[in-house]
Structure 1
Amino acid sequence: MLLWMGVYIHHWPLAVTGISIFQWHAHEMIYGFAVAVIAGFLLTAVKNWTGVQTLHGAGLMALFALWVIPRLLLLFGTSLIFIAGFFDLLFMVGLTAAIFQPINQVKQWKQAGILAILVLLLLGNALFYLGAAGIIEGGVFVSLRGGLFLVIGLILFMGRRVIPFFIEAGVGYPIKVKNSQRLDQAIIVLYGLFLIAEVGIGKEWLVALLALGLLISNSIRLAGWYTPGIWKKPLLWSLFIAFAAINFGFLLMALTPVLKLPPLVVLHAFSVGGIGLIILSMMARVTLGHTGRNIQQPPKTVPVALFLLIAGAMFRVIVPLLTSSVYPMWVAISQLLWIIAFLIFLISYLPMLVKPRVDGQFG
């Protein structure tokens, strides 16, 4: 993000050919940043779900190396993009295999949806490099749009599993949040149709109609999860607000045919407000739990980081919708707030992550 701020705001030179600097930024945020977080989450979660040890030690280091090599190569632009692409796709193949193996071992096929999303992300990333090479026309656009909404789809799918549990276990009083299996099924069907319409068909009115359906259905879901106790727990209200930000993105997409809203602003409701906030919130929570610490006692810096990121989302989405005359300044403020928020997280949590678990358990 710091490099992107330099390129976009301060016009640092970046040797990019075959794609635009905006596509370079989008690719690294989706297939670099977000997919890395997905990898960490799933390698941890699948072990808990299946009871089978997932990749660790030298194998995990090898997978990390496959991820970090293309990230470093792409920092210098696109001169080595196809070498980067080779390692990038190897990383995603390795990740998919590492998730498939324990699921297959215990035949836990209810996780097939997660595997399908990983495979689609792998294909989407391949499409990016084929598009950048001029082999598939429009491949870059489909890759980036599809990748963004595959990540959002995974958040909706996984959020339904974990957030109600987090709320019930974390508010400090007995509560059973409302969940409807029929509503879950409706959201999955609606989202599948939305993804096809957004990426494959591109009819604005159809996308808007499906976005409206997702806005309504996800609002009903959020209302069922709500309890006043979340506002006393930063690691709960941040998840709730992140889901609300995704809902706000659906609202903006539903209104776009009427109000002609700028597409990049709308997309950042999903990326900054949704993906960014849920990533920061989940990392702040699971780091505590998986290092043997009390998840009810996050560092005092956590609410500060979360507030800064929410403010960053507002400067990236809401403020430009109200006044776009100094649009680059709003973007710069949002970038700066993002950088500070994640820097606060890094300073607060790095000591936990580089030391053994405090309870002496494996991990």
Structure 2
Amino acid sequence: MSETAAPAQKRKPVPRGLARTGPVILSYGFRPFFLAAGIWAVLAMGLWIGALIFGWPIGGSYGGAYWHAHEMLFGYSTAALAGFLLTAVPNWTGRLPVSGLPLAILFLAWLVGRLALLAPDLVGLPVAIALDIAFLPLLLGICLREVIAGRKWKDLKVMAAVGALAIANALFHGVILWGGDVALADRAAVSAFIMLIGIIGGRVVPSFTRNWLAKRHVIALPAPYALFDTATLLVTLAALACWTLLPVSPLTVILCALAGLLNAWRLFRWRGWQTGAEALVLVLHVAYGFVPLGLLSVALSAAGWLDPMAALHVLTVGAIGTMTLAIMSRATRGHTGVPLTASPLTAASYACVALAALIRLAVGPLPDLATELLAVAGTLWMLAFLLYTLEHAPLLLTRRRDRPE
């Protein structure tokens, strides 16, 4: 009697994402990165204020001022960006999100960079820089793989902005090692973030506003995406590129002023004044409002009428800080099953970060009060993210619900 071998059973692939075992914090990308962003926003600013007041030797041979600039742009902001992308990309592509061990490895890459740069001389400055550089290319590789696999070609422009951030980070470090103008890398990174806000904010701000207004049977809704939006983004890209390379050029004045006006009109078309009853929606308009304000401030700076650092901080603290806080709080609530309405603590955190940006802008026109204004702005920044962390950490750590309302 002959024997026939039983057909081999086909193995099912092990799915990625939405892990139901293991720590809740590793079940979805927004969880560890939003929590870390909130904590690091407080700690990094606190360390910088301590360095200014008490002479704390943060950053070692990297330099305290450079460390502060780097950690706000490439420490805090990239953590918030990673949390958003690891949550949004699966929604764009329909593929499962990264979770579990791969997520832990990616988060560890971010964390190692923060620790290495805090005291770079313990391992040597080149090694500390190499450890920090690894995170953004790794994040880009993960997200790019998902976008290509999902054939979402329109989202490649988002990946391009992330790639620009990775290049700006390497450039920033290169200037520290070999000398040069660190401000160029600084402006390049800020420009990449502002383009991300223009692209992604142009989706989420009118979309969330439209949904909120429609539920209340409001007839006048935000204008849909049109050729005007594309033109605005292209002019903004040109303006930011010119500012990055030629910060005091007359062309920068013209392009940034034009981009500021176009973005102001774009924001007006989204009808944010109708959302005053819900801070969770209104803050998106406030955050985007810092984009035209920042671009106009850059134009004034390029013309010699405003302190360049004041203009820069309208974009960093105002646009980047307020938008990331708005997205972090909304996504945390939506993905953990908490009603999509701002609590008093959440509304207070929004007010603190927006006020911090406005006070930082006042440093230029009021140089005699610079120390006091910087201290108030820094304190408000820390308070904003402390409030976010205290309110949302329990949701990120324990509440297991990963489908937004």
Structure 1 length as normaliser, TM-score? 0.92
Aligned partner of 2:227 in structure 1 is 182
Aligned-partner Cα distance in 2 for 1:78–1:248 = 39
- Counterpart residue identity of residue 142, structure 1: L
Q: Does 1:51 align with 2:94?
A: yes
- Pick aligned residue for 1:124 from 149, 168, 180: 168
CA distance in 1, matches of 2:127, 2:76: 19
2:378 corresponds to 1:335 = yes
Contact 1:30–1:147, Cα closer than 8 Å, also in 2:
yes
Query: In the aligned structure 2, how far is the partner of 1:264 from the partner of 1:252?
Result: 10
Cα deviations across residues 56-101 of structure 1 (Å, max 9, x unaligned)? 1100000000000110122225664322222222211210111011
Could you say which residue in structure 2 is the equivalent of 1:27?
70
User: Structure 1 residue 13: deviation in Å?
Assistant: 2.9
For residues 194 and 177 of structure 2, the distance between their equivalents in structure 1, rounded to whole angstroms, comes to 27
Contact 2:257 2:295 in 1 (8 A): yes
Answer with 1 or 2: which has the greater Rg: 2
- 2:76 maps to 1:38: no
| Paired residues of 1:252 and 1:266 also in contact (CA < 8 A) | yes
Picking from 243, 246, 249, the partner of 2:288 is 243
CA contact (8 A) 2:47 2:58 kept: no
Q: How many residues align?
A: 356
Are 2:185 and 1:143 aligned? yes
Return the alpha-carbon distance in structure 2 between the equivalents of residues 258 and 102 of structure 1: 43
Shift of 1:323: 2.1
Q: CA deviation at 1:20?
A: 4.4
Q: Which residue of the other structure, out of 310, 331, 341, is the alignment partner of 2:354?
A: 310
Q: Render the CA deviation track for 1:243-293: whole Å, top value 9, x for unaligned.
A: 112211112122234453111111111111111111111111110111122
Mapped contact 1:163–1:239 kept (Cα < 8 A): yes
Q: Tell me which of 90, 95, 105 is aligned to 1:62.
A: 105
Match of 2:239 in 1: 194
Report 1 or 2 for greater relative contact order, CA contacts < 8 Å, sequence distance ≥ 6: 2
**Counterpart in 1 of 2:208?**
166
Matches within 5 A, 1:217-256: 217-256=262-301
Q: Which of 47, 50, 53 is the aligned partner of 1:6?
A: 50
Question: Could you tell me how far apart the structure 2 residues matched to 1:21 and 1:361 are?
Answer: 41
Q: CA RMSD in A?
A: 2.0
Aligned counterpart for 1:323 among listed residues 366, 384, 405? 366
In 2: Cα distance, 1:287 partner to 1:129 partner: 32
1:291 has 2:324 as partner: no
Per the TM alignment, residue 224 of structure 1 is displaced from its structure 2 partner at its CA by 0.5
In 1, Cα distance between equivalents of 2:365 and 2:391: 35
Distance between the aligned counterparts of 2:393 and 2:328, measured in 1? 11
For each residue in 1:94-129, what CA deviation from the matched residue of structure 2 results, as whole angstroms up to 9, or x when unmatched?
Answer: 101110111111211111101111111111111122
SS in 1 for 2:169: helix
TM-score, length-scaled by structure 2: 0.83
* Structure 1 residue 191: Cα displacement: 2.0
Can you list the C-alpha shifts for 1:24-60, whole angstroms capped at 9, x where unaligned?
Answer: 2111111111111111101100101111113211000
What's the secondary structure of 1:189's corresponding residue? helix
Which amino acid counterpart does residue 162 of structure 2 have in structure 1? L
- SS of the residue corresponding to residue 398 of structure 2 reads coil
CA distance in 1, matches of 2:145, 2:111: 23
SS of match in other structure, 1:31? helix
Distance of 1:77 and 1:323 partners within structure 2: 35
